[in-house]
């Protein structure tokens, strides 16, 4: 399975950070690619995150992260448990708070119907 992270992380040498617009275009292209092929079951895009790992590396609580980002502790819990997918703006704010690249916090995976059922 090719993850969205692998597709987004195909930067050319010295390209630096990807812009928000570049990431939006990659997501749009990925969604168009998966929706245009009707010969297989429909796929869905699942956004994975590394919030717990990054918090643990910094010895931050959920409340610490929430305060730094400007959201509620419950929002952090929901994001960590995949009950809520943050907006692109919020996802970038979270990455900035951790002082890492967006792709080090979030990645998207294409999951087929069959994989969802497993």
Backbone angles phi, psi at 112, to 5 degrees: -80, 165
Query: Domain segments of the chain: what residues?
Result: 4-8+18-117
In this predicted structure, what is the pLDDT of residue 82?
Answer: 92
pLDDT tens over the chain, length 118 residues: 455 445 545 544 445 577 888 888 888 777 776 555 555 556 788 889 999 999 999 999 999 999 999 999 999 999 999 999 999 999 999 999 999 999 999 998 888 766 656 6
Q: pTM for this structure?
A: 0.60
What is the CATH code for 4-8+18-117?
1.10.260.40
In this predicted structure, what is the pLDDT of residue 12?
Answer: 41
In this predicted structure, what is the pLDDT of residue 66?
Answer: 98
User: In the block, which residue shows the tokens 């292209």?
Assistant: 29
């Amino acid at each position: 399975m090719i993850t969205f992270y692998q597709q987004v992380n195909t930067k050319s040498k010295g390209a630096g950070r990807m812009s928000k617009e570049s990431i939006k275009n990659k997501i749009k292209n990925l969604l168009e690619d998966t929706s245009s092929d009707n010969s297989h079951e429909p796929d869905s895009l699942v956004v994975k995150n590394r919030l717990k790992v990054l918090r643990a590396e910094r010895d931050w609580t959920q409340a610490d992260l929430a305060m730094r980002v400007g959201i509620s502790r419950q929002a952090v819990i929901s994001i960590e448990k995949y009950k809520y997918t943050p907006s692109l703006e919020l996802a970038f704010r979270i990455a900035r708070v951790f002082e890492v690249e967006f792709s080090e916090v979030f990645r998207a995976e294409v999951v087929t119907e069959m994989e969802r059922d497993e």
